[in-house]
Amino acid sequence: MTTRVPRPLHPAAWWGWATALAIAASRTTNPLLLGLIVSVTAYVAVARRPATPWSRSYLIFLRIGLAAVAIRVVLFALLGTGPGTHVLFTLPRVPLPDWLAGVRLGGPVSLDGTLAATYDGLRLAVILVCVGAANTLTSPRRLLKSLPSALQEAGVAVTVALAFAPQAVASVSRLRAARRLRGRADKGLRSMRGLAVPVLEGALDRSVDLAAAMDSRGFGRRGSTPAHVRRATAALVVGGMLAMLASSYALIDTQAPSGLGLPLLLAGGLSTAAGLVVGARRGGRTRYRPDPWRSPEWLVVGCGVAAAVVIGLGRSTDLFPATSPPTAPSLPLLPALGLLLALLPAWIAPPLPRPRGVPSGDATGAAVVPRQTVGAAP
């Protein structure tokens, strides 16, 4: 085997792989299969995460997922619907007024229902974990960078918007400190109300500064593209995307006219593609060191898609274990083997470039951003 040049995998490949696994997760409630998906994403994330600040987001998403399971189960216990075959315990019933006749608060909590709620929550949690894995393996900003050139300006707008939340949090804490410095209360509702206007003003000021900086650096330059080409590009892309959005409703909603979904999806896809191709040709912008899309990218996405397809081949009794009466879930062989395919990217993906300043050794597991020496002149 030839030595492989270390490089980061194309962000879209990781997102494709993670999306496919999320789809696989959405096709089952079997806790064993769901657990397998979590193990697969965890292994790949640990093996291939770059040493960047966002590479810790896997754990954050895992925690959010567990919280989702807990909330789902607690809500079920409080609002659950009637007794099942096995009653675990009985909560005191809260009497509700007549106009809430359909809602029950408290009462018996059954094992069947709790199990169903847990499975359901688990499925959501695993989908979240898949998103977390993608976030860990590549930053959303990298993905935005590899948008087709017709969408690049929209991508920059999203990047700028993404920076808003952390900046707003920072300015809230600064302004609360400032209130304290002027001898006013820095806690309570009244003080929060007083903060809203300055925080927004600050955000607005920053946006204007940034807009001025971007304008000064040539953002939104007309270049040599004629106006009608630009308008056509925009119309094709926006129209196509709207069509695809409408078609997804038509495909999911069983009551929509059936023959409409697929043609609309195709037409929308074609229109968007045409817009992107025309946009790519206008040549107003170029891209610095774009991530290449080569065979490892195809293989990584392929592994994910294969897992999502193979899981669908399982019997529905295996994929959706019965909860009423409760039965122990079994691990179906074929879907499990399919999911193991999704583990391969841990070896298929090219090795990560070693971060500068970190001594040789294990570069993959090192979430180390080297400590900088401030203002040190060479």
Partner 1 sequence: MIRFAHVTVTYPGALAPVLRSVDLDIPEGELCLVVGRTGSGKSTLLRCINGLVPHFTGGRLAGSVTVDGRDTRHHPPRELADVVGFVGQDPLAGFVTDTVEDELAYGMESLGVAPEVMRRRVEETLDLLGLTDVRDRPLLALSAGEQQRVAIGSVLTVHPRGLVLDEPTSALDPAAAEEVLAALTRIVHDTGLTVVLAEHRLERVVQYADRVVFVPGHGRAVEMGAPADLLAHTPVAPPVVELGRLAGWSPLPLSVRDARRAADGLRQRLANVAPPRRTVPRRDALAELRRVVASYGDVLALRGVDLTVHRGEVVAVMGRNGAGKSTLLAVLAGLRTPTAGIVSVAGAPTAGRPARDVVRRVGLVPHEPTDLLWAQTVDDECAEADRDAGVSPGTTRGLLTDLTPDIDGDLHPRDLSEGQRLSLALAVILAAAPALVALDEPTRGLDYPAKRRLVTILRDLAARGHAVVLATHDVELAAELADRIVVLAEGEIVADGPTADIAVASPVFAPQVAKVLAPLPWLTVSQVAAALAG
User: Least distance (Å) from partner 1 to the CB of residue 266?
Assistant: 33
Q: Which of residues 342-361 bind partner 1 (CB under 8 A)?
A: 355-357
Which one, 41 or 149, has the nearer CB to partner 1?
Answer: 149
Q: Which of residues 251-310 bind partner 1 (CB under 8 A)?
A: 283-290
Alpha helix locations (H) across 139-226?
A: 140-145, 152-162, 164-181, 189-216
Name which position in 219, 293, 298, 320 contacts partner 1 (CB under 8 A). 219
Which one, 95 or 375, has the nearer CB to partner 1?
Answer: 375
Name which position in 1, 2, 3, 53 contacts partner 1 (CB under 8 A). 53
Which one, 104 or 282, has the nearer CB to partner 1?
Answer: 282
Name which position in 35, 96, 215, 231 contacts partner 1 (CB under 8 A). 215
Q: Which tokens go with 276?
A: 């992107």
User: Least distance (Å) from partner 1 to the CB of residue 233?
Assistant: 16
Residue 149 DSSP class: G
Q: Which tokens go with 1?
A: 């085997």
To the nearest 10°, the Cα dihedral for 13, 14, 16, 20? 140
Cis previous bond, 329, omega within 30? no
| Residue 313 near residue 338, CB atoms below 8 Å | yes
Closest CA to 319 of 24, 2, 83: 24
HEC per residue, 329-378: CCCCHHHHHHHHHCCCHHHHCCCCCCCCCCCCCCCCCCCCCCCCCCCCCC
Distance CA 102, CA 98 (A): 9
Which one, 328 or 374, has the nearer CB to partner 1?
Answer: 374
Which one, 190 or 289, has the nearer CB to partner 1?
Answer: 289
Which one, 156 or 274, has the nearer CB to partner 1?
Answer: 156
By the rule CB under 8 A, 222 interacts with partner 1 = yes
Q: Which of residues 178-197 bind partner 1 (CB under 8 A)?
A: 178-186, 194, 197
Closest CA to 231 of 278, 264, 270: 278
User: Least distance (Å) from partner 1 to the CB of residue 171?
Assistant: 8
Name which position in 81, 85, 90, 159 contacts partner 1 (CB under 8 A). 159
Name which position in 214, 246, 363, 367 contacts partner 1 (CB under 8 A). 214
Name which position in 94, 212, 238, 333 contacts partner 1 (CB under 8 A). 212
Which burial class, exposed, middle or buried, applies to 373 when counting CB atoms under 10 A from its CB (0-12, 13-18, 19+)?
exposed
Which burial class, exposed, middle or buried, applies to 242 when counting CB atoms under 10 A from its CB (0-12, 13-18, 19+)?
middle
Binding site for partner 1 (CB under 8 A): 52-53, 141, 145, 156, 159-160, 171, 174-175, 177-186, 194, 197-198, 201-202, 205-206, 209-223, 283-290, 355-357, 369, 372-378
